Amino acid sequence: MNAPTSTYKRTAEKSRDQLILDNVDYVARILSTMAFKATSDEERENLNSAGVVGLVEAANNFDPSQGVSFRTFAYRRVYGAIVDEMRKTSLVSQVVLAQIGVVKKAHEILEPPVTPERIAEETELTLEQVVTCLEAMRFIKPDDWNDLSDVVHGSWRSSTMSAQYEIESEELKEMLAESINDLPERERLVLSLYYDEELNLAEIGAVLEISQSRVSRVMASARFRLQEAIRCKMN
């Protein structure tokens, strides 16, 4: 191996390691919106470790020349790694799994845009049960039931986007902005505190004087409404 090649490799490895070190806290931030069923410190630590594995994978594959920020690039991989670990550990109860089937069936037959309230009416589940299902759906089969976590994350703050990405995603961002404005006030506020002010769920709960689990359910409801709004606008 010649000297220039060796130097380049060492520089690349140092850059990768620095990306990981600088963004370990980002794993905890993503996890704060997901670990609603983790009942022990051990479970939460396992989920965090899975997220760090996703972060390392992102650092290994990140190409800064693409013009996308590392956190935007890493989000999907960290999120997916945590979801995979949740699925392995079966953190969702059988009761909720059964209710998810009912909610999905209602979603298929209702005319869009579907809301949590309409699903509750159709299924005779309580609104709280429906929102709990929407929250849990992200961790069952994410490929079959896609929420807008990564879309919202990537579109909320345009300053993190490259010029090319902004041009390509302008229409989606406009639709998303309109849909966010139409959300119920509390859901809009929770999203703003999370994405704009960069508070975690515990901090948002302290601001609004509600539990962390309640904040998680509010976010799940907001994301579902956004998903439905975008689905209607794109059809």
Per-residue pLDDT at 145 exceeds 50: no
Least confident of 10-14, 79-83, 102-106: 10-14
pTM to 2 decimals? 0.66
What pLDDT is attached to residue 197?
84
**In b/e form, how buried is each residue of 21-31, taking b as 16+ CB within 10 angstroms?**
eebeebbebbb
| DSSP-assigned letter for residue 63 | -
CA 107/CA 110 separation, integer angstroms: 5
Contact at 8 Å (CB) between 51 and 221? no
What pLDDT is attached to residue 89?
72
Shortest CA distance to 209 belongs to which of 198, 222, 218, 220?
Answer: 218
Long-range contacts of 40-44 (CB under 8 A, 24+ apart): 43/89, 43/91
Token pair recorded at residue 5: 């090649």
Residues 6+ apart with CB under 8 A from 144: none
Token pair recorded at residue 16: 């990768």
Phi, psi (deg, nearest 5) at residue 148:
-100, 25
Maximum CA pair distance of the chain?
Answer: 70
- Residue 135: pLDDT band by 50, 70, 90 thresholds? confident
Per-residue pLDDT at 67 exceeds 70: yes
CB count in 10 Å sphere of residue 87: 14
Token pair recorded at residue 211: 């539990």
| 191: helix, strand or coil | helix
What pLDDT is attached to residue 220?
87
pLDDT, tens only, 160-195: 444 444 444 566 777 777 888 899 999 999 988 988
Return mean pLDDT, the chain.
79
What pLDDT is attached to residue 21?
93
How far is CA 216 from each of CA 30, 83, 133, 168, 169, rounded to the nearest angstrom? Answer: 12, 15, 12, 31, 27
